[in-house]
Structure 1
Amino acid sequence: MQDGHPIASTVLGLIGTICWCIQLIPQIYYNWARKSTDGLPASMMMIWAVSGIPFGVYAIIQNLNIPLQVQPQIFMALALTSWGQCKRYAGSWKRPTSAIVSLALLLLFGGLEAMLILTLRPVYNRGVHYPMTIVGVIAAVLLAAGLIPPYFEIAKRRGRVVGINFVFLAVDWFGAFFSLMSLIAQNEFDVLAGIMYIICMTLETGIFGCQAVWLATHWRQWREERREKGENGGKELEDAGSVVVVDDEKTVGAGSTASLSIREGEATQTKP
């Protein structure tokens, strides 16, 4: 036993926490590498960041195992980092602005969480438990709500998933799975926390399913896109202000007003 919880529960919770500590890192890197968050809703990341407040309050006051208490804080920080990227790449914010606002929100959310813990813990210790039930329900609703916006993006693209990194999605799914197993291994299963993880797993499975169906019905289109990308050397045209390399020979410098069109692996330059 550790902290009143079976060792198996703590170990499983630790695995889940590790997954949720790194889950958004592939997505954050994916956003940075593409310099784009097209298809990744900023609202998803903000809702997830806000969900970390009640999720953290619930985990700490309910005295879940230590890894599960740490988990919401890291989840909140990574979600705000990704949200800042969305505002920078899609909202045209400057880098300092997105960084400062994201950090300020993190401090604000952390302060709100601490205030709620200090306020609700004495009430909970006196045997009044319904406020914590409300907090747990709010956390579950927000966690689920964060996974709803991607479905609107998927619908706009007729079932295709764009902008969401599947490594991130898989790690997130396994984080929820191991956290759920940790709760099952505890002396007493926490129903609300379990519902939060089950909702997360179910909605993420749906996103995987949407992409699988799209690939099954648009296999030729996907294969053609991969072929064309391969013919272009895996390089994509960047926005104005960057250097574009075509066939590793022809370049268009920053600030050029020329436009490029590529046909059958050859580059032609057309003056506007």
Structure 2
Amino acid sequence: MISEGAATALATVGTVCWCVQLIPQIIYNYRLKNCEGLPPIMLLAWVVSGIPFAIYFLITKGNIILQIQPHLFMLFCGISFIQTLYYPPVSWSPIRIMYVIAAIIVVDIPLEVGFTLWLRPLYSRGIHWPALIIGVIASVLLALGLIPPYFELAKRQGKVVGINFIFLFIDSLGAWLSIVSVILGNMDIMGIVLYSVVAVMELGIFASHFIWCCRFKWFSRETKVHDQEDQISVVQSEKTIDNNNFEKPYEEQTED
């Protein structure tokens, strides 16, 4: 362990990021009353990934902050997941949504308690491969959760729709801080992989929208043509207004 104090501090900041990162997305969804472009399967995969994610850090007796982090991650992902089911384009009934959430909770609690009680003693005796398998499952689910947004990007030529960039930035920041905390702490390779999956996949989403802006918004010929047309329309409108203002006094004088 390089620095326990630094590792704890960075893990704490990373956890704070992962506590609040989905709040902008939740507010964004609530204001729009629409979740077009935000795939429900993405958030479901993240909620489910939190189960092996939490089990892994409970088994390995990681930093207490890292043990809390997956549960907070699941909570806010769950809220956003409910929104994607309730708002268009899915628009499920509240009762149907309650059944889904209840099923997740019923599966989550026994799995966390059972696997932790079973595998923690094994891990303490040096048998690490069961924890490694659970960590791999968590990594795969995290990666799978970030694949559906790429299909949404493909539909829109790389444009990000429905995903709040403040959420994406805070989430990525939390992942990078957590990576550094693990490096400074116990140098747990699987922990680094878990967070790196999120960081790299989200960086790809940023890059996709940046490329879209370069292609179609900032440097597009069509955009320049539209801007010129808009300017011409504005000039013509101003001329029309000026002509009308000029004709009115002339008409009044003629009537007199």
TM-score range, shorter chain: 0.7 to 0.9
Q: Deviations over 1:149-197 (max 9, x none)?
A: 10000001111110000000000000001111111111x3000110111
- Aligned partner of 1:141 in structure 2 is 140
Q: Is the 8 A contact 1:31 1:37 kept in 2?
A: yes
Q: Is the 8 A contact 1:21 1:74 kept in 2?
A: yes
Q: Is the 8 A contact 1:17 1:68 kept in 2?
A: yes
Tell which has more relative contact order, 1 or 2 (C-alpha 8 A, sep 6+). Answer: 2
Q: Deviations over 1:3-42 (max 9, x none)?
A: x971111111000001001111111111111001100000
For 2:31 and 2:64, the matched residues in 1 are separated by 34
1:68 correspondence with 2:75: no
- Aligned partner of 1:53 in structure 2 is 51
* Equivalent residue runs for 1:171-186 within 5 Å: 171-186=170-185
- Aligned partner of 1:261 in structure 2 is none
CA shift at 1:107, angstroms?
A: 4.7
- Aligned partner of 1:34 in structure 2 is 32
Q: 2:194 aligns with which of 193, 196, 215?
A: 196
CA shift at 1:102, angstroms?
A: 2.5
What is the RMSD computed on CA atoms of the aligned residues? 2.4
Structure 1, unpaired ranges of 5+: 229-272
* Equivalent residue runs for 1:71-220 within 5 Å: 71-89=69-87, 90-95=89-94, 97-99=96-98, 101-186=100-185, 188-219=186-217
For 2:75 and 2:29, the matched residues in 1 are separated by 16
- Aligned partner of 1:18 in structure 2 is 16
| Higher helix proportion (structure 1 or 2) | 2
Q: Is the 8 A contact 2:37 2:161 kept in 1?
A: yes
Q: Which amino acid aligns with 1:184?
A: I
For 1:167 and 1:152, the matched residues in 2 are separated by 21
Q: Which amino acid aligns with 2:48?
A: V
CA shift at 1:101, angstroms?
A: 3.5
Q: Which amino acid aligns with 1:73?
A: H
- Aligned partner of 1:249 in structure 2 is none
For 1:56 and 1:148, the matched residues in 2 are separated by 22
CA shift at 1:104, angstroms?
A: 4.8
| Higher strand proportion (structure 1 or 2) | 1
* Equivalent residue runs for 1:231-246 within 5 Å: none
Secondary structure of 1:19's aligned partner: helix
Segments of 4+ in structure 1 off by > 3 A? 220-225
Q: Is the 8 A contact 2:10 2:180 kept in 1?
A: yes
Q: Is the 8 A contact 1:169 1:204 kept in 2?
A: yes
TM-score, normalising length from structure 1?
A: 0.76
Q: Deviations over 1:195-234 (max 9, x none)?
A: 1111111110110000001111111678979xx9xxxxxx
Secondary structure of 1:218's aligned partner: helix
TM-score, normalising length from structure 2?
A: 0.81
Instruction: Rate the CA distance shift 1:112–1:41 in 2: closer, same or farther, 3 A.
Output: same
Q: Which amino acid aligns with 1:145?
A: L
* Equivalent residue runs for 1:247-258 within 5 Å: none
Larger Rg: 2
CA shift at 1:84, angstroms?
A: 1.0
- Aligned partner of 1:244 in structure 2 is none
Q: Deviations over 1:34-70 (max 9, x none)?
A: 0011000001001001110111111111111111110
For 1:64 and 1:148, the matched residues in 2 are separated by 28
For 1:57 and 1:222, the matched residues in 2 are separated by 51
For 1:195 and 1:80, the matched residues in 2 are separated by 23
